[in-house]
Structure 1
Amino acid sequence: MWQLLGQGTSEDERRVEKIISKWPDWTGLDMSYCPVSGGISNTNWRVHVAGTPRDFFVKIPGRGTDRFIERNAAHEASVKAHACGYGVPVVGFMKDEGVEIFEFVDGWRTSTNLDFLDKEIRHNAVGALRAFNDSGPLELTKTVFDMIDEHVAQVAELNSWKPRDLTWMLEQRDEARAALEASGLDLVPCMNDTLAGNFMIGPGKEIVILDLEYASNNERAYELALWFGEMFFEDSVEREMIEAYYGRWTGALDARVRVLRALADLKWATWAMVQESLSTLDFDFRKYGLWKYNRARLVLHHPDWPNWLKLL
């Protein structure tokens, strides 16, 4: 529901009004805004500014997200994604508030998991990810191991809930880290958040990537591992996607992706426990985290786990 500037009543509405009133290009202009659904880290808004040909998308950081999102790095990644041809045009960045402003892309829609059953769409998505991964290093390097360590420390600090077998899972993480580092990490820009909702599809099945606030230099294969975990692809499709991305499929690449998928689930499960303690968003972070922990266990307990580590 659209609101005119000055008519906001809720805390979120008053916050977005304060933010958009401060953007210099919009000073003194009539504005209206409405919420955009989706996302479990921030509040998102569509803003109409009188006299401008396009609407704008404004992303406002959620409470507590400064603990694991570096907004300057996120903005750098957004600019890089657009420059490589697979990101939304960036209008501006309010550094002090950590707020990014983008063009609102009409005629495109947010993807769903079902969209990636379409071979053309998923191949276009692989192309978008590969282009971003190959776009040159970011200033921020944060591997999946760094992310897990960060969230484990935050869980301890906040006295957040944690599973009884977390110590055991972290021991498996340490084994995976030793194997991956021994094989050599391929650090490239990764968006690190390949939910279906973070891709947009154009009228000709084109793809752009969104929500790069978690982006950092990370192990290249993590991008596919997290994406596969979110998409629930069959093994044959995963093999197809590995071939499309790398130009080949090997047992070592397959093992790398499988190991990193478990680490991705461990990372996001622990992140969810932090969010449960901090976030004001209407989302069941405990349920989400329990699901992610269970998915990590399925891989960590798999009889082939030791073999995958050896193949790395």
Structure 2
Amino acid sequence: MVVVEVPEPIEEQERIPKEAKKILHELASDWSDVADFRALEVIPLKGAMTNEVYQIKWPTAGRSRKVLVRIYGEGVDVFFDREDEIRTFECMSRHGQGPRLLGRFSNGRVEEFINARTLSAADLRDPDVSALIALKLREFHYLDVPGPKNVLLWERLRNWLEAAQSRCPSEEAEEFRLNVIGEDINTLEKLLSEEGQRIGFCHNDLQYGNIMIDEQTRQITIIDYEYATFNPVAYDIANHFCEMAADYHTETPHVLDYTKYPDLEERKRFVQVYLRSSGSDKEAQDAEVENLLQYIEKYTLASHLVWGLWGIISAHVNEIDFNYMEYARQRFQQYRLRKPLIPGTGSDSVQ
């Protein structure tokens, strides 16, 4: 999900559910610097592709009070278990990794508003910012999150393939050749299930809109954990690299530009920073860097399949103004282009 503030406020009565307003009123009534807890201002945050997101503000004598309201998108529970996501959200809060949960209502929640700037697409290419992300991501991967520590990537791919097949009319299923993607998943799983890979708690959606930076402290915060699970850390990094092709704040937010995929030098620099604290000698670390880089390139194929299927399903379940189907076509196209470059993937199935 990507968000950016839209300057024109909208009437809260039109968008915010009654249950959410009750929570907001209760919160503000406890703040002595808010003169009128009903005098709230609602500002939509642009660019969300899974949920509707709003900043809520109350005027005060000093700085205004702010919280964030997240209204869950229709039909998106096909992608993740909402209760698992809430538990992850609460766990992140306890670890000091993200905003606090302030309240829940039937189709959404109220969160603490973080006083930091959401990154832009250009920020991901800034070497200094990229290094901060690499360090934060390593910290994130080592979080001790309760629950099973097994890899969920392949199960997710198969579940999403089944969901796409059940929703697509025959012409769409034929266009995306959904009948053979199962073979591609099996091939990738076999190729990428070697022992010795680092498994960690992965965000799985590390695009720029899910990363915030405090301009004064330079502290990075990773937000929005809907898709977070344990997975190979190489997959999470691969997904982050693939997201560098996106700019969700243009007039055509679904259009991807893969000339912006990081070159070898950029990828190597990120991985070196990520592994910097491993404590190994230079020769061992060089080998570790090279090994991780190779796995990352292989996992880009899985990333393209994941988000290609996500796009197909979203086109049928989500009413947010985004060209999900064209986005899916681009992800599958990249899968098709990159697959011959990866040894062991067999013939190209997705056309």
- What TM-score bracket applies, with the shorter chain setting the length? 0.7 to 0.9
Provide the residue aligned with 1:306 in structure 2: 344
Provide the residue aligned with 1:44 in structure 2: 53
The answer on whether the counterparts of 2:163 and 2:313 sit within 8 Å (CA) in structure 1 is: yes
**Is 1:235 equivalent to 2:243 in the alignment?**
no
The answer on whether the counterparts of 2:161 and 2:178 sit within 8 Å (CA) in structure 1 is: no
1:175 Cα offset (Å): 2.0
Provide the residue aligned with 1:266 in structure 2: 305
Letter of the 1:222 partner, please give it.
Y
Measured in 1, the distance between the counterparts of 2:136 and 2:21 equals 34
Measured in 1, the distance between the counterparts of 2:270 and 2:231 equals 19
Measured in 2, the distance between the counterparts of 1:198 and 1:275 equals 19
Secondary structure in 2 matching 1:182 = coil
Which deviations, in whole Å up to 9, do the C-alpha atoms of 1:109-133 show, x marking residues without a partner? 2212211222121111112211111
Provide the residue aligned with 1:214 in structure 2: 227
Q: 1:90 aligns with which of 87, 97, 100?
A: 100
1:46 Cα offset (Å): 0.8
Measured in 1, the distance between the counterparts of 2:339 and 2:331 equals 12
Letter of the 2:209 partner, please give it.
G
Measured in 1, the distance between the counterparts of 2:166 and 2:326 equals 21
The TM-score with structure 2 as length reference comes to 0.76
Q: Which moved more, 1:61-70 or 1:141-150?
A: 141-150
The answer on whether the counterparts of 1:132 and 1:190 sit within 8 Å (CA) in structure 2 is: yes
Q: 1:71 aligns with which of 82, 97, 101?
A: 82
The answer on whether the counterparts of 2:152 and 2:230 sit within 8 Å (CA) in structure 1 is: yes
1:296 Cα offset (Å): 1.3
Measured in 2, the distance between the counterparts of 1:255 and 1:265 equals 17
The answer on whether the counterparts of 1:80 and 1:135 sit within 8 Å (CA) in structure 2 is: no
Provide the residue aligned with 2:34 in structure 1: none
Which deviations, in whole Å up to 9, do the C-alpha atoms of 1:252-277 show, x marking residues without a partner? 32221111111011011011100001
Q: 1:128 aligns with which of 132, 136, 140?
A: 136
**Is 1:294 equivalent to 2:304 in the alignment?**
no
Measured in 1, the distance between the counterparts of 2:138 and 2:85 equals 18
Provide the residue aligned with 2:210 in structure 1: 198
Secondary structure in 1 matching 2:321 = coil
Measured in 2, the distance between the counterparts of 1:174 and 1:214 equals 21
Counterparts in 2 of 1:76 and 1:131: CA distance versus 1, 3 Å: farther
The answer on whether the counterparts of 2:52 and 2:72 sit within 8 Å (CA) in structure 1 is: yes
Which deviations, in whole Å up to 9, do the C-alpha atoms of 1:133-177 show, x marking residues without a partner? 111134366622122111111112112533444444442321221
Could you say what the CA RMSD is over the residues aligned between the two structures, in angstroms? 2.6
The answer on whether the counterparts of 2:57 and 2:64 sit within 8 Å (CA) in structure 1 is: no
Larger radius of gyration: 2
Measured in 1, the distance between the counterparts of 2:328 and 2:222 equals 24
The answer on whether the counterparts of 1:86 and 1:128 sit within 8 Å (CA) in structure 2 is: no
The answer on whether the counterparts of 1:3 and 1:33 sit within 8 Å (CA) in structure 2 is: yes
1:211 Cα offset (Å): 1.4
**Is 1:176 equivalent to 2:188 in the alignment?**
yes
The answer on whether the counterparts of 2:91 and 2:145 sit within 8 Å (CA) in structure 1 is: no
Letter of the 1:220 partner, please give it.
V
Counterparts in 2 of 1:102 and 1:142: CA distance versus 1, 3 Å: farther
Measured in 1, the distance between the counterparts of 2:230 and 2:239 equals 15
The unaligned stretches of length 5 or more in structure 1 are none
Secondary structure in 1 matching 2:17 = helix
Q: 2:91 aligns with which of 77, 80, 99?
A: 80
Letter of the 1:279 partner, please give it.
N
Q: Percent same amino acid among aligned pairs?
A: 20
The answer on whether the counterparts of 1:84 and 1:131 sit within 8 Å (CA) in structure 2 is: no
The unaligned stretches of length 5 or more in structure 2 are 1-7, 30-36, 245-260, 277-284, 347-351
The answer on whether the counterparts of 2:10 and 2:44 sit within 8 Å (CA) in structure 1 is: no
Measured in 1, the distance between the counterparts of 2:180 and 2:290 equals 26
**Is 1:223 equivalent to 2:236 in the alignment?**
yes
The number of residue pairs the alignment matches comes to 297
Letter of the 1:306 partner, please give it.
G
Measured in 2, the distance between the counterparts of 1:98 and 1:135 equals 28
The TM-score with structure 1 as length reference comes to 0.85
Letter of the 1:236 partner, please give it.
E
The answer on whether the counterparts of 1:273 and 1:286 sit within 8 Å (CA) in structure 2 is: yes
Counterparts in 2 of 1:17 and 1:167: CA distance versus 1, 3 Å: closer
1:203 Cα offset (Å): 1.1
Measured in 1, the distance between the counterparts of 2:322 and 2:273 equals 35
1:21 Cα offset (Å): 2.2
